[in-house]
Amino acid sequence: MQKADRFCSIHKLPVFFILILSLIFASCGGESKNNVTEGIKDQILHMGNGTEPQGLDPHVVTGVQEFNIIVALLEGLVAEDPKTLEPIPGAAESWTVSDDLKTYVFKMRKGAKWSNGDPVTAQDFVYSWKRLISPGLAAEYAYQLFYLKNAEKYYKGEIEDFNEVGVKAVDDSTLEVELNYPVPFFLSLLSHHSLFPVHRATIEKFGDIDSRVSKWTLPGNFVGNGPFVLKTWELNKIITVEKNPLYWNADIVRLNGIHFYPTDNEQTEERMFRSGQLHLTSTVPIDKIEVYNEKSPELIRTYPYLGTYYYMFNTLRKPFDDPKVRRALAMSIDRRQIVERITKGGQMPAYAFTPPNTMGYTPEAAIPFDIEGAKKLLAEAGYPEGKGLPECELLYNTLDAHRKIAVAIQQMWKNSVNVNITLVNQDWKVFLDSQRTQNFLISRASWIGDYPDPNTFLDMWVTDGGNNHTGWSNKEYDSLIAKAAQTIGQKKRYEYFQRAEKILTEEVPILPIYTYTKISLIRPEVKGWYPNVLDHHPYQYVYLEK
Amino acid sequence: MFKIILNRILIAIPVLLIVITVTFFFIRMAPGGPFDTEKVLPPEITKNLNKYYNLDKPVFLQYTDYLKNLTHGDFGPSFRHSNRTVSEMIFTGLPITFELGVYAILIAICIGIFAGLLAALSPNSMQDYIPMSFAMTGICMPSFLLGPVLVLIFGIWFDLLPVSGWNTLPGDKILPSITLGATYAAYVARLTRGGMLEVMYQDFIRTARAKGLPEAMVVMRHALRGGLLPVVSFLGPAIAGLLAGSFVVETIFQVPGLGRFYIKAAFDRDYTMILGTTIFYSALIIFFNLFSDILTSWLDPRLREH
């Protein structure tokens, strides 16, 4: 009986199970720490950074989240002014430009060091740029250097000798760069991560000049010349960097470190922000924008971003081979409603392709919002009241935000000009394949500028341009873009661009919808985080203060 | 017994080979390649990329090359993460997913068996209805709903537990484990109840009672062993499912486990990573099914004889 008593009451079992459960988590118990307040004390910035980076090799990676980390670890010849993005001295102390704008001579900064103590020299840049255009490395951004004399030939294997390429170390502290033709935005290109230097001895220790798969970017191996050094990297969890005492301008760096969190789920990121784990997010879920705007506007920040959300037409297929049909559709959507009712993030309706105020350039031409005019155009094209127009497909990549916009536009076309379209969505990679093979009639698209210059938007629509999936071609347009590329004075250049933009708004191979904004959640304690159109924030100038 | 195990292992090899073959060719058939981006690359760059990753060779040759490397245990480098190999990534993610899975399964077993027992001991009373309604809710509630709700209550309103992370802040393992375990706990509860009810009316239980054993002894010593059979056969596939299906919970809670790599790899068309993880998961599922079969036959003498 005594033995049986031990099992006597089955109702005591809950105690037993609760005991087990608490044992499981015994190691986890304790007070929850708050990154935001701790971070302010220790000058450690905690930021959400989109997805897990592909890597940290400046010559191999392509995305924004990689750039956000690399810019802390490496510095190009020129850096960016945190407010205006104007080129300011970086690894180069100063530079001179020849009158024809084709030759640049950079004076390297005296005393600039790699994080292992080696001096940063002109040869480092020659080596790094050679690496970028080594065919074996297959760098996605190799074409960024094709402006250099003979660089493209070297990449294609037409010449073997790298000495013929337009970059030369005259001595340790002088770098001479020769271009094919004047490139007005060349200095801005230099702050792109693909043109950043890498440490030769480190690269060669872990592989060859053209090894894509290499361990040199791992913590402990990485040698950089930027304001921070790589400390830890846990896949899908966190990347941390700490202040680099050997950085030439270490005196102005106030942060002691940055923690980058790969946050591919924006809802999770928002929750992390709300619970005090992040100072700053990479984005804001659409459904939360209004809530923050109303309840805590001091935490949400919106500023223009150098990008355009648009639809493109396949101009090789009926009925969009007729510019009148394209223009009619472009004239009959109410962009203001889309940005005010759907996207709600302060986006601006776009009536031309290049975003307004791109380095002082604002398109003068505009696609009007004119339903009556659109009806007239459709009638002229042979489809009065939309009659006879076949039902067309609108393709977008699977994402709720795109679907909402597509549904709104579908309704607008139905109501205003009686044009019926059906919506089709595809997974991202399938969608890209459809675009590339021109297997669409109307397709959603977006373009984010690579550098602050109208050229990054307008040169993509030249005949057979790699990103021109519309099949559209216009000789006059091509020649205007070509002329602008050869022109030195900004005023004259912008005139060519204005004329090109006018052709674009008349022929409408693409239908601009809105200009992007960058929206993020940011603690008011984060200082020195200035709004700019590329969303670049050099961390040297960032600090945390109550 | 030994023969059965050997048999099953031998069958596993062609099964794995079929999985590899189908995956290998299917991912290559899917439109869009690993290096397609919104900004189209100049053709000569694409050519060099394909060359670097052997994608310029005929597909069948790529296949035999892959199999050849596989026999040396080499899954190749990840297409997307240039400084990591697939094996490295699997073995970074796996321990975390495994740990999460263990906690979840412990929660599922503890809560599930307890609730099922409660319900089975006095069927059709409040003691039955209350846990079973919870179980029903648990089965119906998907983790992408339960997770954020738990976060809202315990992470944000009461500020008791961290809302995300793994092994960074104290207590950050609790919410993901509960979220992942809840659905399974619910299944276990229902299975335990069913199994126990069946056993409780059998003759040997009546005999046990007739011998004068106290009720608790009858349940723990005699009924439980038979009553838990359905739970055990469920656990094998469940553990495999937990490991393979934890990606939702991993995403919600920023847990750096294997599930997130798997899904991301599929979207990125990271061919080697997709193959590596698929092979790995297939092996895991085969193993756990085998494991639960062995366990079932140990618990149920009737199966052993066949």
Interface confidence (ipTM) of the complex: 0.85
Q: Report chain B's mean pLDDT, rounded to a whole number.
A: 86
The DSSP bridge pattern shows strands A392-397 and A238-243 to be: unpaired
* d(CA A242, nearest CA chain B) in Å: 18
Ramachandran assignment for A53, one of left (phi > 0), alpha (psi -120 to 50 degrees), beta (any other): beta
User: Nearest residue of A to residue B148 by CA position?
Assistant: A268
pTM for this predicted structure = 0.88
Positive or negative, the CA dihedral B199, B204, B207, B208 is negative
CB contact under 8 A, A264 and B251: yes
- Say what percent of chain A tops pLDDT 90: 73
DSSP assignment string, A206-230: HS-TT-SS-STTSTTT----SSEEE
- Say what percent of chain B tops pLDDT 70: 98
Chains A and B form CB pairs within 8 A to the count of 196
Q: Report chain A's mean pLDDT, rounded to a whole number.
A: 90
| Position A156 pLDDT exceeds 80 | yes
DSSP assignment string, B232-250: HHHHHHHHHHHHHTTHHHH
Question: How do residues A10-24 score in pLDDT, each as one tens digit?
Answer: 444 455 555 555 544
* d(CA B12, nearest CA chain A) in Å: 31
Question: How do residues A436-475 score in pLDDT, each as one tens digit?
Answer: 889 999 999 999 888 888 999 999 899 988 889 999 999 9
Backbone angles phi, psi at A220, to 5 degrees: 95, -30
Question: How do residues A395-426 score in pLDDT, each as one tens digit?
Answer: 999 888 899 999 999 999 999 999 999 999 99
* d(CA A140, nearest CA chain B) in Å: 6
User: Nearest residue of B to residue A221 by CA position?
Assistant: B83
* d(CA B9, nearest CA chain A) in Å: 33
Question: How do residues B234-275 score in pLDDT, each as one tens digit?
Answer: 887 788 778 777 888 998 898 998 888 888 888 888 999 999
Hey, which residues 402-421 in chain A have their CB within 8 Å of chain B?
Answer: none
Pick among B163, B167, B192, B270 to test the A interface (most A CBs inside 10 A): B163
CB contact under 8 A, A429 and B45: no
Strand order through the sheet with A348-349: A348-349, A510-521, A300-313, A442-448, A392-397, A421-426
Confidence of residue A9 (pLDDT cuts 50, 70, 90): very low
Q: How many CA atoms are closer than 13 Å to the CA of A365, on its beta-carbon side?
A: 20
Q: Does any CB of chain B come closer than 8 Å to the CB of residue A336?
A: no
Please report residues of B whose CB lies closer than 8 A to that of A212: 52, 82
| Position B123 pLDDT exceeds 90 | no
Q: What pLDDT shows up at residue A4?
A: 39
Cβ neighbour number for residue A90 with a 10 Å cutoff: 24
